[in-house]
A and B are shown apart, each in its own frame.
Chain A
Amino acid sequence: MNVIVSLTISSIAVVVLVLIPLIGVWGLHLHYLFGVVIPYLAAATFFVGIVYRVVDWAKSPVPFRIPSTCGQQKTMPWVKRTYVDYLDNPDSTLGTVLRMVLEILCFRSLFRNTKLQFGSGEKIKYASAKWLWLGAIVFHYAFLTVLIRHLWLFTEPVPFFVQLLNKLDGFLQIFVPTIYLSGFVLGAAVTYLLLRRLFIPQVRYVSLPADYFPLLLIIGMAFTGILMRYLLKVDMIKVKELTLGLVRFSPRVPDGIGVIFYIHLFLVSSLFAYFPFSKLVHMAGVFLSPTRNLSNNSRAVRHINPWNYPVKVHTYQAYEDEFREKMKAAGLPVEKE
């Protein structure tokens, strides 16, 4: 799909997602629908969807180990292996767990990213390319920080680690209310990820609305959140009454929360509901990547294909027993007289 078409489709989708709560809350006063019903439906879709996807994956057989060739596999004792080989091509459970930890917390696969470069003359080289890794890791950790900090709306008393994170995130103590860095870092990182898709021709070529839409949606979430906190202002005491009501299952909607809150909430609800159906579900999928979560022990352990049906065998011995007389009569050689 052409980049203009893709971008247009996904931008329109996000604009519509902003207009729906704007009209619904501002024009039609459907506060309960947008403050309670839709968030609950979105959360339910998220949980059921994730469970469904994971169970579905779990039903697919992974008959063989997939040794990725990033490191030397365990073999003869005189073939040297370094710690990199243990991590990238593990043969033990511990090694595999460590590989998963590196993958999930540090995005190791992305870190290995290389780029083909033309040197002088005919020479080419593969140089390491870390910008994608940097953008991705900054984005994910900023998102996680914002998400954990949002627990201040869903807990009472607020747990110490949320308060600590708020303090750390606002350590610059500039502006009132204090600037939380993570919100702006999130916005910057996701904008970088979008620009990268738009400006690198090869990446643009493989990008679809399904790639642009989540980026634009997250930009919208960060933008409305920042707008609400620093400029438009809503009554946070009432917001907390609503959010606490949601997680304590006695929902109520106090009057007088600004419409910007409902827009932010609707965008977030859309993301949660969209999550299990989209590529975003890699949050759960990364744990089930067969090239990462299986130890490469094919040489040491026999893995039997689970869909092998029992093959009926007729050995030569049995064959000869059955036809010995006929074979002899036809002059064929037999093993046992």
Chain B
Amino acid sequence: MYDGGKIITGLIIGIGLIAFPIWLNAGKAVKKADPKLPAKEKQCVEPTQYMLTNHMEVLDLWRDSVVRLGDRYFISFDGKKYRVSLQNTCMSAECHPKKKEFCDECHDYMGIEPYCWDCHIEKGEKK
């Protein structure tokens, strides 16, 4: 090999960089997100499977409904009437009162931080 020392060093650095996620994770167990579900309520405003993938779109729809159309009520798929509100409906005492135990549980797991909380606040939180 010609210039073997330099090339092998470069190769090790390159492979090491690309394999970053492998050595960063070495020896760790697979974690799962474990959001705390409401104790009594059994049904969300949309079917669970839909909420898992599309809750951000539901929230977006709700937001538009209030701030663009002035419509503060929402009829759910199973015919129930809800007041459209992130803090007072989604995060009401019966449903998902604790942001830490619910929203953050998944979002921290994914490493994302929706910007909604720049303005909206959790119940009891002071800004």
A interface residues, Cβ below 8 angstroms from B: 47, 50-51, 54-55, 57-62, 151-152, 154-159, 162-163, 166-167, 173, 176-178, 233-237, 240-241, 244-245, 247-248, 250, 252, 256, 284, 287-288, 306
Contact = CB atoms under 8 A, between A and B. Distances in A.
Interface stretch (B23-31, B76-84, B90-98): B23-31
B115 interface: yes
Interface string B5-31: 001101100110011111011001111
Given A58-B2, A234-B53, A158 B111 contact: yes
B54 A62 contact: no
Given A58-B2, A177-B56, A158 B29 contact: no
B125 interface: no
Given A155-B111, A244-B25, A244-B30, A284 B52 contact: no
B15 A51 contact: yes
Q: How large is the interface on B (under 10, 10 to 19, 20 to 34, 35 or more residues)?
A: 35 or more
Nearest to A252: B30
Contacts of A167: 113
18 contacts: A47-B15, A50-B14, A51-B15, A57-B7, A58-B7, A59-B2, A61-B2, A152-B110, A154-B25, A159-B24, A233-B54, A235-B52, A237-B109, A244-B30, A247-B22, A248-B28, A252-B30, A284-B11
A237 B25 contact: no
Contacts of A244: 25, 30-31
Given A61-B2, A248-B29, 12 more contacts: A47-B18, A151-B20, A156-B109, A157-B108, A162-B111, A173-B115, A233-B54, A235-B49, A237-B33, A244-B25, A248-B28, A288-B7
Contacts of B31: 156, 244
B59 interface: yes
A233 B53 contact: yes
Contact of A287 (B2, B10, B112): B10
B1 interface: yes
A268 to B, nearest CB: 14
B120 to A, nearest CB: 14
Interface of B: 1-4, 7-8, 10-11, 14-15, 18-22, 24-25, 28-33, 49, 52-54, 56-57, 59-60, 106, 108-113, 115
B55 to A, nearest CB: 10
Contacts of B21: 151, 154-155, 247
B11 A163 contact: no
Contacts of B49: 235, 256
A156 B4 CA distance: 37
A110 B2 CA distance: 28
A48 to B, nearest CB: 10
A256 B47 CA distance: 15
Contact of B52 (A151, A157, A237, A288): A237
B3 to A, nearest CB: 7
Nearest to B53: A233
B1 A245 contact: no
A165 to B, nearest CB: 11
Nearest to B22: A247
Given A59-B2, A61-B2, A248-B25, A240 B56 contact: no
A152 B109 CA distance: 9
A208 to B, nearest CB: 27
Report which residue of A60, A177, A234 has the largest number of chain B beta carbons within 10 angstroms of its beta carbon: A177
A55 B14 CA distance: 13
A47 B12 CA distance: 11
A157 B115 contact: no
Contacts of B33: 237, 240
B110 A236 contact: yes
Contacts of A256: 49
